[in-house]
């Protein structure tokens, strides 16, 4: 009897795990470079790659060109790439200088902080990336510098109607 109860408990918990892993992204309020306010909830309807970075973060500066290339490669497929700066408001000119030297093919938002990363389950290390499905659910979190395959595997799985092995919910690259 105890063994049967234990087996049923394990089966029940396994059935709950997939639904428990899906988590709506926090509805952060951020601004684009023109000062227009945006919320994460407005991204519903598109697969979205949200990268948190800062000008002072060397791995961030190395990662952004990869994400820009992927943004161009996946252009026209209902995928948005957004790079959100965690630079302090007083350092806004540094963000603009970085962007003038580096042409990035993605939306740029500002106003992120480490508390936002924590609330999204990303820890407190930059860079960090969230990949959201069309419903605004977090599919993958990449803590540290994302690799091509980290982003591509998740995007291909989402574009392929979630067929095959799902991508990992969390990837640590530090």
pLDDT for 108-134, tens place per residue?
Answer: 999 999 999 999 999 999 999 999 999
8 pLDDT band, cuts 50/70/90, is very low
Domain spanning 24-173, CATH class? alpha beta
> Hey, CA dihedral for 92, 64, 126, 151, is it positive or negative?
positive
Q: What global pTM score does this model have? A: 0.86
Structure token digits, residue 10: 């394990």
- Helices marked H in the chain — which ranges? 2-21, 58-73, 92-101, 114-119, 148-159
Q: 15 pLDDT exceeds 70?
A: no
Phi, psi (degrees; rounded to nearest 5) at 107: -70, 145
Q: 4 pLDDT exceeds 90?
A: no
Give the H or E element holding residue 52: strand 47-53
Cα 17 to the center of its chain, rounded Å:
21
Place of tokens 């938002």: 109
Measured distance CA(66)–CA(57) in Å, rounded:
15
136 pLDDT band, cuts 50/70/90, is very high
Average confidence (pLDDT) over 146-153: 98
Pairing of strands 107-110, 47-53: unpaired
Measured distance CA(172)–CA(174) in Å, rounded:
6
pLDDT score of 18: 40
Structure token digits, residue 121: 């389950």
Structure token digits, residue 58: 């060397």
pLDDT score of 1: 55
pLDDT score of 85: 98
pLDDT score of 68: 97
138 pLDDT band, cuts 50/70/90, is very high
Entry field: residues in the chain = 174
Q: Active-site residue numbers?
A: 57, 60
Measured distance CA(96)–CA(12) in Å, rounded:
52
Average confidence (pLDDT) over 65-70: 97
Q: 16 pLDDT exceeds 60?
A: no
């Amino acid at each position: 009897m105890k063994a049967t109860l234990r087996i049923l408990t394990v089966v029940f918990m396994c059935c709950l795990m997939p639904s428990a892993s899906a988590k709506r992204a926090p509805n952060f309020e951020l601004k684009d470079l023109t000062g227009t306010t945006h919320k994460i909830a407005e991204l519903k309807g598109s697969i979205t790659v949200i990268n948190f970075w800062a000008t002072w973060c060397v791995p961030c500066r190395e990662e952004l060109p990869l994400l820009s290339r992927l943004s161009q490669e996946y252009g026209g497929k209902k995928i948005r790439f957004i790079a959100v700066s965690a630079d302090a408001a007083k350092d806004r000119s540094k963000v603009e200088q970085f962007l003038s030297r580096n042409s990035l093919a993605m939306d740029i938002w500002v106003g992120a902080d480490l508390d936002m990363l924590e609330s999204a389950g990303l820890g407190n290390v930059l860079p960090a990336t969230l990949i959201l499905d069309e419903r605004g659910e977090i599919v993958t979190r990449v803590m540290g510098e994302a690799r091509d395959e980290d982003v591509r595997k998740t995007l291909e799985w989402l574009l392929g109607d979630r067929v095959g092995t799902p991508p990992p919910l969390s990837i640590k690259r530090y």
